[in-house]
Amino acid sequence: MVTTRILRPTRGSVTGAIVGLALALAVTACGPSPVGASPSDTPSAAASPVDSTPAVPSAADPSVDASPVGAAPSGLPSTGTADYQLGGAYPPPAGVTVVARDSTEPPAEGTYGLCYVNGFQSQPGEADRWAARGLLLLDDAGDPVADEGWPDEVLLDTSTAQSRAAVADELTTELTRCADAGFDAVELDNLDSWTRSDGRLTQDDAVALAGLLVGAAHDLGLAAVQKNTPQLGTVGRDDIGFDLAVAEECVHYDECAAYTDVYGDDVIDIEYVEPGQQADELAAEVCGTPGRPARLVVRDHDLAPAEADGYAYAACPFTPGR
């Protein structure tokens, strides 16, 4: 599931810190071709930000979350555009060097691969998986709290250190699958789920779980992607340890600076066409926007595969240092 504000498509070992914490808890109680870009299969050698928070807290105290650990992998390639293929995989258009796909798909060969994982809500049809572990957020009547815009997705309970450790442990499957498949980074969706919890969750809860997941990703050799959530500011990079960001419609909502001021050129923006609008038409409107991210992709709301009805794609030229 993609965290678009308009429409989203329906759409693996963790760190020693998470394992240790989980064990202790048991004891105590995841179209048109782009323009003006040349392809490259080689990621940039520039170092990504590394969270330097030391010391995993004592596993004997489940009220304390583990800090992100491990070295952050390299950043995005220094050339080329991107494609966002969460609705189904297909050969990337010419000039694309970065491709996002669901964790159930293989990465696109010869590109920097982003692996999509729904980290803070259940995927459609998977609520029972989380209910079996008691990890769904419940309302006062004991009913699961669904995302109002996407009622087949239920918010995960991130309100305690114990529940966060259990969620991170459960997402071992997705994170390991991303690493084993050969992806370069993991995109953790619905980081902002606390904003849809009617006050039952907080930003601090989300930040704490994100720290566990980012630490696990780094230990698996994966970079970690902040998905949306512009209100984090530098917290995403400095406190959580995210290495890059994917934003949806930051040009439309005038939010791009919230990402580029933190991650520089390591930001990918996806802008969505309106019904009846052509991808090239929207690209002509947004590609010249001052301060837009270095990589900007135009897509259809459903992120349909190429050749499918409704498929739309265009990309702005890769323009670093904007």
pLDDT of residue 73: 59
**Which segments in the chain show pLDDT lower than 50?**
1-64, 66-72
Longest dimension (CA), the chain: 59
CA distance 36 to 45: 22
pLDDT of residue 17: 39
Per-residue pLDDT reduced to its tens digit, 68-127: 434 445 579 999 999 999 999 999 999 999 999 999 999 999 999 999 999 999 999 999
Does the predicted TM-score (pTM) go above 0.85? Answer: no
Per-residue pLDDT reduced to its tens digit, 221-231: 999 999 999 99
SS3 content of the chain, % helix, strand, coil (to 5): 25, 20, 55
The string of DSSP codes covering 267-287 is: EEEEEEPPTT--HHHHHHHHT
- In eight-state DSSP terms, residue 36 is S
pLDDT of residue 65: 58
CA distance 318 to 322: 10
CA distance 207 to 306: 36
User: What's the N-to-C CA distance of the chain in angstroms?
Assistant: 30
Give me the sheet containing 223-227, strands edge to edge. Answer: 81-84, 96-102, 112-118, 185-189, 223-227, 244-248, 267-272, 295-299, 313-315
Contact 106, 91 (CB under 8 A): no
CA distance 22 to 244: 28
